[in-house]
Amino acid sequence: MQLQSPDAYPAGGEPRREQFEFDLPPELIAQHPAPTREAARLLHLARDGGVHDRRIPDLLDTFEAGDVLVINDTRVIKARLHGRKASGGRVEILIERALGAYRALALLRTSHVPRPGTPLRFHPAGAARDAHDACAEHRGFAATVQGRQGDLFEIEFADPLDTVLESAGEIPLPPYIRHAPAAADADRYQTVYAREPGAVAAPTAGLHLGPGLLEALRGRGVHVAPITLHVGAGTFQPVRAERLADHRMHAERYSVPEPTAARINAARAAGRRIVAVGTTSVRALESSTREGAVLPGAGETRLFILPGFRFQVVDRLLTNFHLPGSTLLMLVCAFAGTERIRAAYRHAVQERYRFFSYGDAMLLERETAP
């Protein structure tokens, strides 16, 4: 395990990407979910540094009446489209966000960067992608590249975007999952409480929570409170800057409903714990907090959480195991302490836990009180 501790920072304490790298046996990258949502393993990293091997149903015994479980109710859309340019060259796009009924910002993968005005055509789901299919060029949905905004391209569609995605889009499984999306993925790469369409990746910690466990938590007096953060395409992008101060986070849209903000503020005033499901919930809550109070409302966040960040709201975090060098790994190191995460990940590798989106989970206690 190569994950470095804060005392390994260069002079001045400036964190660098290399401090969050580690070696992971590739066979530990989960390619499919556990047989049922609650069948995954759970590594509990206690406040005293203890590492405990548990199962997802054991979560029930870690809550007390009055605690608040904050879930992200974003819904993954069929954001990946395959098609061709007029030249016949293949093109793949991943929708980042809609700009209107016919326009979207998207990551684009093709052999040559397209210029503004380049026509594209996307295949209906299941249609042939062979350039030699004489009928292919007459099927599908037409679009045009309008321009570029940094790493993203503005695409205008001839048909309503919702229609295009429903007919031609596929669930955008992460690049480390090697199989093509199947019918089972449409269900399992979505939380049971997904309500608000707009994400291009699932808030994967929530994939472990089934209706039975949620109902059992409510039966114990735990409040389940939703927020929305639409996970953007930037979640698939690596951190390229070696100096993390040079890294610019992608913007993500979030919303905190008034009842959720009121519930959290009341619980904190009563000394109850706030438990976030996933790093997305953490970022939404910490972005919406002012002077210790969670404020309702919507906005965009580019919050980049690194060791040294002062958490104001979240006491505990349910999360999956994250990619080396990722901003998500940096967030959990900030939350639970780099040395503690280092030890927990080393234990997880030794015990053959399953990693990443379809993998096992961790329950983290915040290292220090605010």
What CATH number corresponds to the domain at position 141?
2.40.10
In a domain, 179, yes or no: no
Q: Answer yes or no: do 215 and 330 share one domain.
A: yes
Which of 110, 139, 168 is the endpoint of a domain? Answer: 168
Looking up residue 233, the CATH number of its domain turns out to be: 3.40.1780.10
Number of domains in the chain: 2
pLDDT at residue 132, as a whole number: 43
Q: Answer yes or no: do 360 and 255 share one domain.
A: yes
E strand spans, 65-172: 68-72, 74-76, 80-85, 90-98, 103-110, 119-122, 141-149, 152-157
Q: Are 332 and 322 in contact (CB under 8 A)?
A: yes
pLDDT at residue 13, as a whole number: 60
Q: Answer yes or no: do 360 and 215 share one domain.
A: yes
Q: Answer yes or no: do 291 and 339 share one domain.
A: yes
pLDDT at residue 236, as a whole number: 66
Residue 205 CA to residue 358 CA, distance in Å, equals: 9
Residue span of the structural domain in which 256 resides: 6-76+184-365
CA proximity to 266, closest of 67, 62, 60:
67
pLDDT at residue 5, as a whole number: 39
Q: Answer yes or no: do 103 and 144 share one domain.
A: yes
In a domain, 316, yes or no: yes
Q: What is the pTM of this model?
A: 0.91
pLDDT at residue 51, as a whole number: 95
Q: What's the CA angle centered on 304, arms 303 and 307, to 5 degrees?
A: 130
Question: Which pair of structure tokens corresponds to residue 55?
Answer: 């199962």
Residue 110 CA to residue 108 CA, distance in Å, equals: 7
Q: Answer yes or no: do 347 and 288 share one domain.
A: yes
E strand spans, the chain: 41-45, 51-55, 68-72, 74-76, 80-85, 90-98, 103-110, 119-122, 141-149, 152-157, 196-199, 223-229, 252-256, 274-277, 289-290, 293-294, 297-301, 316-320, 361-365
Q: Answer yes or no: do 40 and 107 share one domain.
A: no
Q: Are 57 and 217 in contact (CB under 8 A)?
A: no
Q: Answer yes or no: do 201 and 251 share one domain.
A: yes
Q: Which residue has the tokens 């594209």?
A: 120
In a domain, 178, yes or no: no
Which of 137, 168, 199 is the endpoint of a domain? Answer: 168
Spatial neighbors of 23 by CB under 8 A, at least 6 apart, are: 1, 2, 324
Task: Give me the phi and psi of 365, to 5 degrees please.
Answer: -95, 135
Q: Answer yes or no: do 239 and 272 share one domain.
A: yes
Q: Answer yes or no: do 89 and 216 share one domain.
A: no
How far, CA to CA in Å, does 213 sit from each of 37, 58, 183? 10, 10, 24
Q: Are 67 and 267 in contact (CB under 8 A)?
A: yes
Residue 370 CA to residue 365 CA, distance in Å, equals: 13
Residue 212 CA to residue 85 CA, distance in Å, equals: 47
Question: Which sign does the torsion angle of CA 46, 52, 54, 60 carry?
Answer: negative
In a domain, 370, yes or no: no
Burial of 14 (0-12, 13-18, 19+ CB in 10 A): exposed
In a domain, 69, yes or no: yes
Question: Which pair of structure tokens corresponds to residue 290?
Answer: 């002012």
Which of 136, 168, 200 is the endpoint of a domain? Answer: 168
pLDDT at residue 77, as a whole number: 96
pLDDT at residue 124, as a whole number: 86
Strand partners for 119: 144
Q: Answer yes or no: do 107 and 219 share one domain.
A: no
Q: Could you say which residues of the chain have pLDDT below 50?
A: 1-12, 128, 131-136, 369-370
